[in-house]
């Protein structure tokens, strides 16, 4: 048994419903053209009335030009005062029909007054058929052509100028054929143009959707790389937390064995160890937190210290000498702190990995500012990078580490972060001598702030 089909709302199948904003622009263009037509009719009629005297109805032509100007003024007021045209396709279609019918009536009168079937203005009916095809669509354009023919021949017959001779009949047939062929040709062209426009809009929408997905995936990749870095530091975190937990357990055991004589410093010791654990957790959660695209002015020295605190959770750092060369006089910089911190942590962890077998491992973090450009260098004395790998070092998923030791995303994400901040990330390396990554960031001017914030909001926060 057939299920009842739910009643669908009435849909206005017009070009106005499909392209309202484009149609409003075309209507305004139509009004602008009518100013030219009205001026031509008015000036031509005045010239014929006062000078040439070619036509009998020059005075009527002057009145027709004035009437055409009046119609244009009314249409302009209607368009400007009606703010609901885009939301009401029926009202927009009423505006279009009013203009077309009024123009066809005035053009028919002008054609009758200037010679009927031999009038020099008959060719202007073609322009109106073009306008009707652009504004109304296929079926309504044919209706407009029929209305044009009906108005013209009714006025022609009422003035006693109906076609009588063979030549007049052929002229009538040619006129009608011209109207409908114009509609046919223009409709075919406009249909293809609209199909092309729809496909272009569809492709544009798909590109925007793909861009949005790429931004989301890039953000997810950046966050994933943070989680990978945290995973590599997990053993160090466990070790750092285990020490205060062991101290707390010892104090609690002592209190349990001698509950009648509590140790005077037990509570203070417990609070100290809890604060130590809290500090470790706070460092890790701060590193994992996404950055704000607004940015903030921060001092570079404390930022590097926080980076070293995070990297220090890796127990391999115990055998590495860390050199921190950050001048205290270095000016306060404007940046996305978590984004820069992620880059420095990624580079520092890579340096630690590269120095696992180094005899004298040294990690150097240095900074300087010249001519308004902030330069950061992270150097190691590790194994270095082969020349054939240097060109691909910033490619996503490219890594020379063993399986399970790296994702190939750290350097790629770091490169994109520095790029979004308006800076550069470069690398120099020699096999067996070590590697240096150089990060340059522009000066903290208002222009740089606005540009970096704009890039961050446009592409999503990179960190």
- Whether residues 115 and 42 share a domain: the answer is yes
Secondary structure (3-state) at 298 = strand
How many Å apart are CA 386 and CA 348, to the nearest integer? 19
How many Å apart are CA 119 and CA 114, to the nearest integer? 5
Model confidence pLDDT, tens digit, residues 198-232:
888 888 889 998 988 888 887 777 667 666 666 65
The pLDDT score that the predictor gives to residue 441 is 83
- Whether residues 54 and 95 share a domain: the answer is yes
| 223, part of any domain | no
- Whether residues 399 and 270 share a domain: the answer is no
How many Å apart are CA 108 and CA 113, to the nearest integer? 9
- Whether residues 171 and 42 share a domain: the answer is yes
How many Å apart are CA 1 and CA 6, to the nearest integer? 15
| Burial grade of 458 (CB within 10 A; 0-12, 13-18, 19 or more) | exposed
- Whether residues 192 and 56 share a domain: the answer is yes
Q: Strand 321-325 vs strand 362-370: parallel, antiparallel, or unpaired?
A: parallel
Burial state string for 357-386 with b = 16 or more CB within 10 A and e = fewer than 16:
ebeebbbbbbbebeeeebebbbbbbbbbbe
- Whether residues 358 and 412 share a domain: the answer is yes
- Whether residues 149 and 254 share a domain: the answer is no
| 218, part of any domain | no
- Whether residues 270 and 298 share a domain: the answer is no
- Whether residues 157 and 298 share a domain: the answer is no
The pLDDT score that the predictor gives to residue 102 is 85
Structural domains of the chain, count:
3
Maximum alpha-carbon separation in the chain:
133
| 403, part of any domain | yes
The pLDDT score that the predictor gives to residue 438 is 92
Final residue of a structural domain among 173, 208, 243: 208
- Whether residues 174 and 239 share a domain: the answer is no
How many Å apart are CA 188 and CA 101, to the nearest integer? 23
Selection from 221, 231, 223, 125 nearest residue 182 by Cα: 125
- Whether residues 63 and 200 share a domain: the answer is yes
| 215, part of any domain | no
| 170, part of any domain | yes
Beta bridge partners of 296: 335
For the chain, list residues with pLDDT below 70. Answer: 1-22, 80-88, 222-223, 225-240, 242-244, 246-247, 250-251, 254, 261-265, 269, 273, 276, 279-280, 282-298, 313, 329-336, 396-398, 400-409, 443-463
Assign residue 320 the CATH number of its domain. Answer: 3.30.565.10
Q: What's this model's pTM, rounded to 2 decimal places?
A: 0.42
Instruction: With residue 324 as reference, give the H or E element that holds it.
Output: strand 321-325
Selection from 343, 368, 340, 364 nearest residue 354 by Cα: 364
- How many Cα atoms sit within 13 Å of 189 on the Cβ side? 10
Final residue of a structural domain among 259, 288, 317: 288
- How many Cα atoms sit within 13 Å of 367 on the Cβ side? 24
Structure tokens at 86: 């885009």
The pLDDT score that the predictor gives to residue 456 is 47
Domain region containing 140: 15-208
Q: Strand 373-380 vs strand 333-335: parallel, antiparallel, or unpaired?
A: unpaired
In the DSSP assignment, the letter for residue 315 is G
Do residues 54 and 45 make contact, with C-beta atoms less than 8 angstroms apart?
no
First to last CA, the chain: 59
Do residues 308 and 346 make contact, with C-beta atoms less than 8 angstroms apart?
no
Residues making up the chain, counted from first to last: 463
Selection from 348, 365, 324, 366 nearest residue 414 by Cα: 348
Instruction: With residue 435 as reference, give the H or E element that holds it.
Output: strand 434-441
| Burial grade of 94 (CB within 10 A; 0-12, 13-18, 19 or more) | middle
| 224, part of any domain | no
Strands lying side by side in the sheet with 434-441:
321-325, 362-370, 373-380, 434-441, 424-430
Final residue of a structural domain among 255, 288, 321: 288
The pLDDT score that the predictor gives to residue 381 is 92
| 363, part of any domain | yes
The pLDDT score that the predictor gives to residue 1 is 42
Do residues 386 and 355 make contact, with C-beta atoms less than 8 angstroms apart?
no
The pLDDT score that the predictor gives to residue 436 is 94
Q: Is the dihedral of CA 58, 64, 70, 73 positive or negative?
A: negative
The pLDDT score that the predictor gives to residue 197 is 79
Task: Name residue, tokens 């590697």.
Answer: 435
| 214, part of any domain | no
- Whether residues 276 and 301 share a domain: the answer is no
């Amino acid at each position: 048994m057939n299920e009842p089909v739910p009643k669908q709302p009435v849909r206005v199948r017009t070009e106005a419903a499909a392209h309202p904003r484009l149609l409003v622009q075309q209507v305004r263009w139509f009004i602008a053209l009518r100013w030219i037509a009205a001026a031509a009719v008015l000036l031509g009629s005045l010239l014929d009335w006062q000078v040439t005297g070619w036509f009998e109805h020059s005075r009527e032509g002057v009145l027709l030009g004035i009437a055409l100007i009046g119609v244009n003024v009314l249409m302009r007021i209607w368009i400007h005062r009606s703010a609901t045209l885009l939301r009401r396709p029926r009202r927009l279609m009423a505006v279009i029909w009013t203009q077309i019918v009024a123009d066809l009536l005035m053009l028919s009168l002008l054609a009758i007054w200037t010679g009927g079937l031999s009038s020099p203005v008959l060719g202007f009916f073609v322009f109106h058929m073009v306008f009707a095809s652009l504004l109304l669509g296929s079926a309504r354009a044919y209706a407009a052509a029929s209305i044009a023919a009906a108005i013209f021949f009714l006025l022609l017959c009422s003035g006693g100028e109906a076609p009588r001779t063979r030549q007049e009949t052929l002229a009538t047939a040619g006129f009608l054929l011209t109207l409908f062929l114009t509609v046919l040709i223009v409709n075919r062209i406009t249909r293809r143009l609209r199909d092309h426009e729809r496909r272009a809009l569809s492709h544009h929408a798909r590109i925007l959707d793909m861009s949005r997905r790429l931004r989301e995936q890039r953000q997810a990749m950046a966050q994933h790389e943070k989680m990978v870095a945290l995973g590599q530091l997990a053993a160090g975190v466990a070790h750092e937390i285990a020490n205060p937990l062991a101290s707390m357990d010892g104090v609690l055991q002592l209190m349990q064995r001698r509950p009648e004589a509590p140790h005077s410093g037990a509570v203070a010791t417990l609070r100290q160890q809890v604060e130590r654990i809290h500090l470790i957790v706070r460092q890790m959660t701060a590193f994992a937190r996404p950055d704000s695209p607004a940015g903030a002015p921060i001092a570079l020295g404390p930022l590097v210290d926080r980076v070293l605190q995070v990297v220090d959770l890796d127990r391999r750092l115990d055998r590495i000498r860390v050199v921190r060369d950050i001048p205290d006089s270095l000016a306060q910089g404007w940046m996305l702190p978590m984004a820069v911190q992620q880059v420095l942590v990624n580079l520092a962890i890579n340096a630690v990995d590269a120095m696992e077998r180094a005899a004298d491992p040294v990690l150097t973090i240095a900074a300087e500012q010249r001519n308004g450009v902030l330069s950061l260098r992270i150097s190691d004395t590790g194994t270095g990078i082969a020349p054939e790998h240097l060109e691909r070092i910033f490619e996503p998923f490219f890594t020379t580490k063993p399986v399970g030791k790296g994702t190939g995303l750290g350097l790629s994400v770091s490169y994109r972060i520095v790029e979004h901040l308006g800076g550069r990330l470069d690398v120099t390396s020699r096999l067996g001598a070590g590697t240096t990554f150089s990060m340059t960031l522009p000066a903290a001017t208002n222009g740089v702030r606005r540009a970096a914030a704009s890039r961050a909001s446009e592409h999503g926060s990179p960190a």
